[in-house]
Amino acid sequence: MAEVLMILTIALPWLGALAVWAWGDDDAQQRGGWYASHRLAVAFSAAAGLAALALLPSVSSTTVLRIPIGGMFGELTFVPDGLGVFLTVVATVIGCLAVVFSVDYMRGERQQRRYYAFVLFFIGAMAGLALTGSLLFLFFFWEITALCSYVLISFYNDDPKAVAGGIKALIITQIGGAGLLAGALLAYAYTGSYDIGNFIEKAPTLPAAVLAAMAFGFLAAAAAKSAQFPFQTWLPDAMEAPTPISALIHAATMVNAGVYLLARFYPAFEHVPGWRTAVMVVGLITALLAAFMGLAANDLKRVLAYSTVSQLGYMVYAIGVGGVFASAFHLLSHAVFKALLFLAAGAVIHAVGTRDMRDMGGLGQRMPFVRNVFIVGALALAGLPILNGFWSKELILEAGLEGGPGWALVGMILGAGLTALYTARMTWLVFFGQPRSDLHAHDATSAMRVSLGALAVGALTTWLLVGPFSRMLAETLPFHEIEHLGLWEMTVEILAAPVTWLAMGVIGIGLAAWGLRERLAGVTNSLGWLSRAAQASFGFEWINRRVVQITQGAASLLRVTQTGELNWNVLGIVGGLVFILAILVWGVR
Amino acid sequence: MMMPMGVLAFLGLILIPLGVSPFVYLLGRVGVRTSEQQQARATWVRWAALLTLLATWIPFVLAASEFARRGPAEFQLETIALRLDGVSLLLAAAVLGLTTLAALFSWPYMAGEIGEEKYYTMLLAMTGVMVGLGFATDLFNLWVWFEAMAVSSYLLVAFYRRQAASLEAGMKYLVQSATGSVMVLMGIALVLATTGTVNLSEIRAGAAGSSPALLAAGALFVIGFGVKVAMVPMHTWLPDAHSQAPSGISALLSGVVIEAGLIALLRALMALAGVTHAWGLLLMGFGAANMLYGNLLALKQTQVKRLLAFSSLAHVGYMLLGFGISLYTGQTGGAQGAFFHLLTHAMMKGLAFLSVGGLLYALRLAKGDHNPLLTADLDGAATRYPLAALALSVAALALGGLPPLAGFMSKWQIFVAGFQTQNAVIMGLVVFAALNSVLSLGYYVPLVNALYRRKPSDVVAHGAVIPQAMLIPLVILTVAVVVVGLIPGSLSWLTGEAAKALLAAF
Amino acid sequence: MKNSVRFQRSFEGEIMNFSPLNIILLGVLGLFGVGLYGLLITRNLIKIVLVLQILVKAAVLALVLAGKAGGNLGLGQSLAATVIVADTVVAVIGLALAVQIRRRFGTLDLPAISTLKG
């Protein structure tokens, strides 16, 4: 049964992609406004979501499906363990909600076949990535998600910014991906198989240098995929995508893959010297930098993008301090509330036609439904009780208290305060105060309401699932040493912990700071340099530009060598001969 | 020994295309006076070429099944021995597959060109000669096939006699190729002088220790064949020739001709395998240079076909890396990956050149315009040419090594072989190769973006229709690229045998 | 095999006596050098084709010499004959192309007919 469901979870979206490509329509004018693309996409993504949910009861740590590929390609294996199935459910269910939301958001757009086909392809690839037990196919699906994200980010191909954003996402995640490639190849070269379980088991017997190379290679890949320091720059530029795509990338698919990778291989690498500290520091730096940038940004989607980067920093930090469960739990909370925020922001942007928060203001009265669900998401993001973000964030901080140094914990608590501050700022600028420009606005339409309502309920309730969720992970991940955590246990534990109250205090200060922003004008002004540095993305964009410039410059310089003159071309041949002879003479001696 | 049936089969592989080619020329020329007659004859010529290539598949299938049953076979004709082994079978498969599709593609593409019969004559001759190159068992025979391949390709590169650029490219190609050919002859002379034979297996047996003369001979082979393989810095003819040739020929040149040169180089080097292990290192070094140089230069190209030509440089680099690994370690893994990449590259680059050719035809040639197709002209091509745009996108992304397309799997196989050596330098080279793939996306991907713009460029908006016959090869190759990407084991029966045959010396 | 040993020795330059083989070897090296040098400096297309001929003659001579040195003179000679035939074809095509180029470009000067670059 489990193998059928697993195949369905991956195959349904991919078949859906083919179906959309074959029978879909490119815009509503085609085929009498039947909206074939919409309908096919919704049907297939919903079916995939149901298949993934149906997989939940049959989680296990055994490999239930083996398809031999032959030779050096090993076997395509699938393992429905807790972590994989959990991520699959997130990808398919939230993906399905994004598809439903798209029905209204993308109405009237052109090239809808390409849009829906790649959304479905993306969802299927993410399910494959989470479920596969083979390192080769982990990388295979990993690269497909990069491909899909690129296609969808630069969906508006006529906009040079969208094209640049897509290419940037592809190239940066691929550069990091080379780390995963090297790691997977090392695993194969030293253990003779691509099997992930087998590798984790044999990890302690590998040469230390090999294991360390793998550990840091995987960290680089995860950092690139999850937009962590120093690869974080692609994610804000990915905001040129249609908003449902942003929700998909940020909540359901792409960025989770990096955290998943670290969580999956944590038991293999935890004893590599310096690896846990590196992971923790990457998470810490990312969480703080992105929070500052979120505070300085004026583009609604960019603020959300920075908040994603920052929250992913929390998850990565959690893995660094050994809280794999806390990390996965926050991934769940974040997926729900970030999808909610993005889709709500999408409803706002769809209504008013701009992303600049300075032009908004006072929209709450005209779109009350969107305002209400946005506030739910915002409070969850800020980490206020009793929303899901509160519980998972406190679990992370508690894990940090147990497994990490104090200075890092202080940083993370400070980050929580900053999160509260920029969340308050964003909510206020969009929905409250006086309208700052003459914008036409209407409340969310029905398909949007379905998605938003479902997600808002999720943001209020997913924390109640902690018991079954932790049991599922504890029972199916033999190497992770995760303990079962009941709901009542968690409540007591968190409410009794001093770090919770400390964090609440800091979050309170963050919220208050926005309330008292006029009286704190002096402080704000004195921190102007920080704001300017944040707006300049702390110099990382500059580094990116320089790398591109240097590559392009080298290419231009090299073009000179292609003179097109025959004498020069023959010199190449003669020079090559002399060069090889010299090498051989030198080598033989 | 083989049954007479098998002998006939593998002789037929060479003789059918080679033997028919002069008759195709005569068919197009003899008794033709008026232009109506010429047009009628041209249709005959196209049919003759296509049917000949299709007929050549019969001996191929026979030879392949004989090979599967009995393994390698040899055939003695006076002093010349021809041998069918894994390498020759693989080369024959790639050559036949791509030429058949190219001939079909050329049907409308070359229709009405001056000297169309010459085009098909040379196409058939080149096919037979390339298949024959795989069968050579001695150095000199190898050189003869190699030279014959070069000669037939000169005429095809310079086919547009009215186009100055085409003539220029053909001339450069001729001079450089001839220079390389002389280097090979010098190498053969050194081997002959030292060992007293040109037979590959006898040389291998005789040349055990390191000798300066044989080292120099190897160097001359690397350089001489390297001109044809387009190793940096002997590559300078390639971007000109591959971009100026008719598109069907560009596909063949990039897809199989340079690879045939590579196989010739490997055959020659394997005879000298006992002399030194440095050959493997040398090939890996050239591979790294080719990847970086090809990718960087492709990054700045504005002409689509020239861009693809530079990308061929980079892809030859991957093959060199794979073969180098095998030559260095004596394990078959790298060679198998490289042979796999040779096949997938033939598909991917063939697809890329044919789809660009289709667009070039619709946007320029159909109107008698011989200017090169620029990347800017492709804007919004998908709006009017969805199939060609899809084919080009699949080809570009596959060349960039993205799954689930063929290029990903063949690169992976080379990379695995590199890591299996557990040698830090080779592993470093593999990571370098992987990063080069990322760099290559920097030019493949904007091409795809341009194709899918909503607003078509002026050229696209006023373009002609792409004929059906051109689309058939595109569909076949697109499906092949996807299927091989999903089922990478589907070609291992060819690549495994080829790697075993190549490394028989170890 | 005796010949081959002698050849190797002379190739390594141990003893440089003026045996006929060594004189021919000098001829080969001379032609080869002149050919390569000519390809590097000649700027006229017809001359390039001629220089190419010099280069090929070096190879022809080398094959005959190698046949003698390797103790298989017949083989060397037959190879040389084949090379001459193949090379004539190349020369003919080269000259034909040169004629066409003269017609299209109006010149045979290399810099003037180098339009494809970069």
Name which of A560, A565, A567 to mutate to probe chain C: the one with the most chain C Cβ atoms within 10 A of its Cβ.
Answer: A567
- Domain tally, chain B: 1
Q: Indicate whether A201 and A329 sit together in one domain.
A: no
> In the structure, what pLDDT confidence band is assigned to residue A486 with cuts at 50, 70 and 90?
confident
A355 and A387 part of one domain:
yes
Structure tokens at B341: 């990449």
Residue listed under structure tokens 């390594």: C12
In what helix (H) or strand (E) does residue A272 lie, and over which residues does it extend?
none
- A61 and A195 share a domain? yes
At B83, phi and psi to the nearest 5? -135, 130
Query: Measuring CA to CA, how many Å separate A178 from each of A172, A358, B3, B36?
Result: 10, 40, 51, 60
Say if residues A73 and B406 touch (Cβ distance below 8 Å): no
Residues A349 and A443 in one domain: yes
Distance between CA A10 and CA A144 in Å, rounded? 13
> Shortest Cα distance from C45 to chain B (angstroms)?
9
Q: Does residue A263 sit within a domain?
A: no
Query: Which positions in chain C touch A565 (Cβ < 8 Å)?
Result: 110-111, 114, 117
Judge whether C98 lies within some domain.
yes
In this complex, which of C48, C115, C118 lies closest to A566 when CB atoms are compared?
A: C48
Count of CB atoms situated within 10 Å of the CB of B469: 16
Residue B427 pLDDT: 94
The residue segments making up the domain with residue B345 are: 277-506
Q: Is residue A220 part of a domain?
A: no
Which of B489, B332, B333 has its CA nearest to residue B409?
Answer: B489
Bigger pLDDT: A440 vs A341:
A341
Question: How many residue pairs from chains A and C have C-beta atoms closer than 8 A?
Answer: 30
pLDDT digit string, tens, across residues B106-141: 999 998 888 889 999 999 999 999 999 999 989 999
**Which chain A residues are closer than 8 Å to B446 by Cβ?**
163, 167
Separation between Cα atoms, residue A186 and residue A178, nearest integer Å: 12
What 3 state SS string does A280-310 have? HHHHHHHHHHHHHHHHHCCEHHHHHHHHHHH
Pick the more confident residue, B31 or A410.
Answer: A410
**Does the N-terminal peptide bond of residue B233 adopt cis geometry, omega within 30 degrees of 0?**
yes
User: C8 in a domain, yes or no?
Assistant: yes
* Residue B464 in domain: yes
Whether residues A566 and B175 touch (CB distance < 8 A) is answered with yes
Q: What is the pLDDT averaged over residues C67-91?
A: 91
**Does the residue B372 lie in any domain?**
yes
Instruction: List the Cα angle A455/A460/A461 in 5-degree steps.
Output: 95
Q: Is residue A259 part of a domain?
A: no
The Cα A119–Cα A99 span in angstroms is 8
Which residues of chain B make contact with C98, given a CB cutoff of 8 A? 171
Whether residue A463 is found in the same domain as residue A376: yes
Any domain includes A521 = no
Does residue A517 surpass a pLDDT of 80?
A: no
Partner residue facing A576 (CB), from B234, B237, B239: B234
Q: Bridge partners of B83?
A: B74
Q: Work out the average pLDDT over A156-183.
A: 91
Give C1's pLDDT tier (boundaries 50, 70, 90).
very low
Residues of C in contact with A574 (CB under 8 A): 36, 40
Complex ipTM > 0.90: yes
Strands (E), B199-313: none
In the predicted structure, residue B3 carries a pLDDT above the cut 60: no
Residue A377, CA atoms < 13 Å, CB-side half-sphere = 30
Return the residue of B nearest to A174 by Cα.
Answer: B438
Nearest to B355 by CA among B382, B390, B379, B311: B390
Beta-carbon separation of A157 and B402 below 8 A? no
CA distances from A78 to A7, A51, A83, A361, B352 (A): 9, 15, 13, 49, 34
Q: Is A313 exposed, middle or buried (0-12, 13-18, 19+ CB in 10 A)?
A: buried
Q: What is the mean pLDDT of residues A25-33?
A: 59
> Is B149 within a domain?
no
Q: Does residue B258 lie within any of the structural domains?
A: no
C-alpha angle A222-A224-A230 in degrees, rounded to nearest 5: 115
Would the pLDDT of B78 be above 90? no
Residues of chain B with pLDDT > 90, as a percent, come to 68
Neighbours of A, requiring at least 3 CB pairs below 8 Å, are: B, C
Q: What is the DSSP string of A347-368?
A: HHHHHHS--BGGG---GGGT-H
CB contact under 8 A, C58 and B170: no
Contact A226, A258 (CB under 8 A): yes
Give the range among A9-23, A117-131, A535-549 with minimum mean pLDDT.
A535-549
pLDDT over 80 (residue B37): yes
A534 falls within a domain: no
Q: Is the distance from CB of C31 to CB of C54 less than 8 angstroms?
A: yes
Residue B306 is assigned to a structural domain of this protein: yes
Q: Which residues, in sequence order, are CB contacts of A569 under 8 Å at separation 6+? A: A563, B172, B175, B176, B236, B237
Residue B488 included in any domain: yes
Spatial separation of the C-alpha atoms in residues A173 and A193, rounded to whole Å: 25
How does A79-104 read in b/e, with b if 16+ C-beta sit within 10 Å?
Answer: bbbbbbbbbbbbbbbbbbbbbbbbbb
Residue C78 lies inside a defined structural domain of this protein: yes
pLDDT over 70, % of chain A: 98
> Is there a contact between C59 and B185 if contact means CB atoms under 8 Å apart?
yes
Q: How far apart are CA B316 and CA B234, in angstroms?
A: 13
- Do A167 and A104 form a contact (C-beta atoms < 8 A)? no
Joined together, the tokens standing for residue B149 give 């391949």
Residue B419, both tokens: 């890591």
The helix (run of H) or strand (run of E) holding residue A75 is: strand A75-78
- Mean local confidence (pLDDT), B36-40: 85
Query: To which residue do tokens 């029978």 refer?
Result: A23
More confident residue, C15 or C90: C90
Helix (H, G, I), strand (E, B) or coil at B303: strand
Residue in chain B closest to C108 (alpha carbons) equals B168
- Between A56 and A521, where is the model more confident? A56
Inter-chain CB proximity C118 and B164 less than 8 Å: no
- Minimum CA–CA partner of B379 in chain A: A158
In this structure, is residue A242 part of a structural domain? yes
> Is a pLDDT exceeding 90 seen at residue B399?
yes
Q: Which chain A positions have a beta carbon within 8 Å of B409's beta carbon?
A: 73
Q: Which domain holds residue A91?
A: 1-212+226-251
Pick C76's closest partner by Cβ from B186, B192, B243. B192
State how far the alpha carbon of A68 is from the alpha carbons of A74, A76, C117, in Å.
Answer: 6, 6, 48
Task: Please compute the mean of the pLDDT values over residues A208-221 and round it to a whole number.
Answer: 93
Residue from the list A562, A563, A574 with its beta carbon closest to the beta carbon of C40 = A574
Dihedral sign of CA atoms C54, C60, C65, C66 in order: positive
Q: pLDDT (tens digit, 9 = 90+) per residue, A324-339?
A: 999 999 999 999 999 9
Identify the pLDDT of residue A29.
Answer: 57
Query: Is residue B304 one of the residues assigned to a domain?
Result: yes
A283 and A246 in one domain? no
Under 8 Å between Cβ of A460 and A387: yes
Residue C14 pLDDT more than 50? no
Mutation for B interface: A149, A163, A185, A566, most B CBs within 10 A: A185
Q: Which of C36, C114, C118 sits opposite A565 (nearest CB)?
A: C114
The count of structural domains within chain A is 3
Q: Which domain holds residue C104?
A: 2-113
- Specify if B480 maps to a domain: yes
Mutual angle of helices B406-420 and B333-363, in 10-degree steps: 150
- Does residue B71 register a pLDDT over 90? no
Structure confidence at residue B467 as a pLDDT band (50, 70, 90): very high
Q: What is the pLDDT of residues A353-411, one digit of tens each?
A: 888 888 887 888 888 888 999 999 999 998 888 888 888 998 898 888 888 888 999 99
- Provide the pLDDT for residue B505: 66
Domain annotation covers residue C118: no
**A75 domain residue, yes or no:** yes
pLDDT at B262 over 70: yes
Q: Which of B331, B416, B451, B457 to mutate to test the interface with A (most CBs of A within 10 A)?
A: B416
Mutation target for B interface from C14, C39, C49, C100: give the one with most B CBs within 10 A: C100
Residues A490 and A551 in one domain: no
Task: Indicate the pLDDT class of residue B2, thresholds 50, 70 and 90.
Answer: very low
pLDDT at B498: 92
A437-447 mean pLDDT = 76
**Is B487's CB within 8 Å of A555's CB?**
no
Which residue's structure tokens are 């109107």? B367
- The larger pLDDT score, comparing residue A222 to residue A39, is at A222
Give the pLDDT of residue C13.
47
Q: How many other CB atoms are found less than 10 A from the CB of residue B461?
A: 12
B195/C90 Cβ within 8 A: no
Confidence of residue C31 (pLDDT cuts 50, 70, 90): very high
CA nearest neighbour of A218 among A183, A185, A189: A183
**How many domains does chain C contain in total?**
1
